[in-house]
Amino acid sequence: MHPFDLRTIQDLEFDTLINWLEEYAIGGTSRKRIQELKPSNKFDQITKDLNTVNELLTIRTTGESFPALDYEELESELRILPVKNSVLQLESYIRISVASDLINRLLYFFDKREKDYPLLSGLFKGAYFTNEIIEAIDQIFDRNGNVKDDASPLLLDIRQKIKVVRNQINRNFDKELRRLTKDNLLAETKETFINERRVLTVLSTHKRKISGTVVGSSKTGSLTFIEPLINIQLNNELELLLDDERKEIYRILQELTRTLSTFLPLIKKYQFILTELDFVNAKTRLAINLNCVLPGLVNETRLELIDAFHPILWLNNKNLGKKTIPQYITMDRTSRMLVISGPNAGGKSITLKTIGLLQLMLQSGLLVPVNPNSKMCFFQQVLTDIGDNQSIENELSTYSYRLKRMKQFLQNSNKRTLLLLDEFGTGSDPDLGGALAEVFFEELYNKKSFGVITTHYANIKLKADQLTNAINGCMLFNTETLEPLYRFSIGQPGSSFTFEVAQINGIPLDLIEKAKTKLDDRKVKMDRLLSELQKEKTYLEKLNKEHLDAQHLANEAREQFTERKSKLEIKINSLNESNEKNQRYINAGRKMIGFIDRFISKTRKKDANKDLIDDIIKYVAVEKNKLDEAKKQAELKARIQHPSKKKIKVTPETDPYQRHRIKEGSKVKLTSTKQTGVVEGIQAEMVTVLFGFMRMKVERDKLMWVQD
């Protein structure tokens, strides 16, 4: 039995994710790989694939300036290049140039990030930075993808001759046009083009009055198209020159193809890198769209899914503006068989499918929509039995199909198997089917398999409670509003809430009570007990939530108090500084008042205030020294906290890279690489440079002048 058979993939709607993933791919190679993508049990390769996607996700979500993957595949070019004397299509040269430029930029990006992104950097093993491919193509083609006039001296000479001949043809034609228009021999349209030649549109009644060659006529025969005699020889000469041009262009492109063929191993590497990055990038874009992450990968067989979402349900609800409830699910060797019970339409099946689909995603190298602290392992096989699967071809009923599938599970299950069984045991007589389901449950348990089982059977719930490594879980139900909460709770079985669900769907109470009398008293009591247990658990969870909310409020109050205390301390320090400053002014004022009181104004003695003046000078000098010392201390503290950075102005004398010589038309290169380009414009210190087909704005101090 295949470890991830087609039935499992269909049951868990994995194909829906594949269709989404395919929309994010750029090239056909990646789309084909995505279409063939299936879960795998090659654990080492899966781990590598997951970590590679996670590296690109980190780049995409941390604001790194990663080059855009805008390229076309090089499959046809790789087929033609090895052929001797071959010539590529014109678009092929542009594709190769774009690919070379993109790989150069990617190499530059990963140059100093190899330790941060080792797996992505490893894709570039065997590739190297070069401008030779781009320069060889740039010598032949202009920005519009046309062959340049100066691609060769002979082509330049031919095109100059073509220009001269065309000008002469147009002058001759315009002269004839004016003369014949004046003689009223032309039709209303006067001229047209036939076989790329400019010809006169003549009224057929006057065609014999005009010297030239008849090249055609209108459908009605009222108009005749004539090539003027004076241009016949020139047009023939033009045809010869155009043929010479085509031959020379073919020779030039043949030589260019020969040059590019010397880079064939590198161009093959371009194709590999770009298609591989396209494949990884498609996975990354899907992860971003679904809020996926890489969980912790563990060797032992266990799961801990925190805030897990079913991606298809989440996206559908998002588009409808509805909220999706995340689930917390944990399984390990002590709780490897999980039995989920609860009301219909309460979320049992979606919880089971969430576990299964996330496991398929993980083992296909896709990140999963969970909390980053989640833990997941790899299973050798994931097998499902979900939904109403009748086989018309083999004339099997639902129950027969399920029995046949169960036989396969019993034959193939082991301790690294994850089984997902929805509505376990249904399809037959409830008592008989329940008994057989219990036996199957025990057999799968004895094989040490992991399993998630949804059921309404009480005996299965009871068996899960009795077995050491099995555990019950339930989907919660609001017993007050009689509505499902779509939240999973582990640790106890759940009531099916059969009568409650019937009540909210409008079934009369008298019929519900009558139905209860038909049941065994023990079963009613059991269901009531489960219902009461869930009520108590819901009440305890409510109390716990209130406690957590109170604790949260207390923490917020503590933080607010700490913040207010900090602000108050700052304010107190500011007031203390202000008080000290004011006290200093008061003391200085008191000192000056003392000096004023000592001043003797009514005296004839010349030196009556000499001692006072000496004291004033001494006091002022002491205070000045204090202020100077305080100022020095403040400046020293400021220099320690905020060291200054002096920017050296670039001048012809201090410019080792001769940046002062850079002007429009200068050839320059980046100081960090060997990539050269031509300056197209300068605004202040920003220089616009054309590197091949790529135009960039670069700071002047990152450039080196090469030549004018």
Residue 613 is assigned to a structural domain of this protein: no
Output phi, psi for 503, to 5 deg: -65, -45
Same domain, 164 and 271: no
pLDDT band at residue 573 using 50, 70 and 90 as cut-offs? confident
SS3 563: helix
pLDDT at 16 over 60: yes
Q: Of 240, 93, 230, give the one whose Cα is nearest residue 172.
A: 230
Mean pLDDT over residues 431-451, rounded? 85
**Percentage of the chain modeled with pLDDT above 90:** 42
**Angle of helix 14-23 versus helix 28-35 axis, rounded to 10:** 180
**Residue 647 pLDDT greater than 60, yes or no:** no
Q: What is the pLDDT of residue 431?
A: 65
On whether both 253 and 337 belong to a single domain, the answer is: no
Q: Are residues 342 and 244 in the same domain?
A: no
Predicted confidence (pLDDT) at residue 368 exceeds the cutoff of 60 = yes
Half-sphere exposure of 540 (CA within 13 A, CB side): 7
Q: Rg (Cα) of the chain, in Å, rounded? A: 43
pLDDT at 538: 63
Residues 466-474 have a mean pLDDT of: 88
- Quick check: is 610 in a domain? no
Which CATH number do you get for residue 193?
1.10.1420.10
Q: Is residue 589 part of a domain?
A: no
62 domain residue, yes or no: yes
Q: What confidence tier does 472 reach under pLDDT thresholds 50, 70, 90?
A: confident
Both 552 and 489 in a single domain? no
> For residue 306, is pLDDT > 70?
yes
215, pLDDT greater than 80: yes
Domain with 209 in it: 150-257
Residues 369 and 481 in one domain: yes
H or E, element range at 698: strand 694-699
Of 618 and 256, the structure prediction assigns the larger pLDDT to 256
Are both 408 and 450 inside the same structural domain?
yes
Kindly state the helix (H) or strand (E) to which residue 548 belongs, with its residue range: helix 521-598
Are residues 325 and 474 both part of a single domain? yes
pLDDT of residue 267 exceeding 90, the answer is yes
Tens of pLDDT along 75-121? 999 999 999 999 999 999 999 999 999 999 999 999 989 999 999 99
Query: What percentage of the chain carries pLDDT values higher than 70?
Result: 84
pLDDT computed for residue 408 by the predictor? 86
Q: Is there a single domain that holds both residue 369 and residue 496?
A: yes
pLDDT at 590: 85
Cα distances (Å, whole numbers) of residue 87 to 136, 156, 248, 263, 446: 15, 21, 13, 15, 68
Distance between CA 511 and CA 680 in Å, rounded?
87
Between CA 54 and CA 366 the distance in angstroms is 9
Residue 174 to residue 177: CA distance in whole angstroms: 5
634's torsion region: left (phi>0), alpha (psi -120 to 50) or beta? Answer: alpha
Q: Are residues 384 and 284 in the same domain?
A: no
Confidence of residue 392 (pLDDT cuts 50, 70, 90): very low
Q: Of the segments 61-75, 455-469, 579-593, 616-630, which one has the largest average pLDDT value?
A: 61-75
Burial class (CB in 10 A: 0-12, 13-18, 19+), 419: buried
What's the confidence (pLDDT) of residue 651? 60
Q: Is residue 596 part of a domain?
A: no
- Between residues 632 and 60, the one the model is more confident about: 60
**pLDDT for position 277:** 96
Please, which pLDDT band fits residue 391 given cuts at 50, 70 and 90? very low
Q: Tens of pLDDT along 222-231?
A: 888 888 998 8
Q: Which of 150-159, 487-496, 533-542, 604-613 has the lowest mean pLDDT?
A: 533-542
Backbone angles phi, psi at 29, to 5 degrees: -60, -45
**Residue 687 sits in a domain of what CATH number?**
2.30.30.30
pLDDT digits (tens, 9 = 90+) for 158-191: 999 999 999 999 999 899 888 888 888 888 888 8
Residue 369 has pLDDT above 70, yes or no: yes
Given this model, what pLDDT does residue 297 score?
Answer: 95
Number of domains in the chain: 5
281 in a structural domain: yes
pLDDT of residue 309: 94
Q: Assess whether 348 and 445 both reside in one domain.
A: yes
SS (H, E, C) 443-505: HHHHCCCEEEEECCCHHHHHHHHHCCCEEEEEEEEECCCCEEEEEEEECCCCCCCHHHHHHHC
Domain final position from 515, 531, 554: 515
**Looking at residues 16-43, what average pLDDT do you find?**
94
Mean pLDDT, range 192-210, rounded to an integer: 85
Does 247 lie in the same domain as 192?
yes
Cα dihedral 319→323→328→329 (10° resolution): -50
Residue 425, pLDDT score = 62
What pLDDT band is residue 393 in, cutting at 50, 70 and 90? very low
Average pLDDT over residues 23-47: 94
Residue 636: inside a domain? no
- With cut-offs at 50, 70 and 90, classify the pLDDT of residue 536: low
Average pLDDT, rounded, for the chain: 84
Does 310 lie in the same domain as 281?
no
Mean pLDDT of 388-408: 64
- Average pLDDT of the segment spanning 355-384: 95
Indicate left, alpha or beta for 427 from its phi (over 0: left) and psi (-120 to 50: alpha). Answer: left
Provide the 10 A C-beta neighbour count for residue 75: 12
Q: State the amino acid at position 458 in one-letter form.
A: A
Tens of pLDDT along 544-569? 767 777 777 888 888 888 888 888 88
In a domain, 608, yes or no: no
169 touches 198 (CB < 8 A): yes
CATH number of residue 449's parent domain: 3.40.50.300
> What per-residue confidence (pLDDT) applies to 462?
83
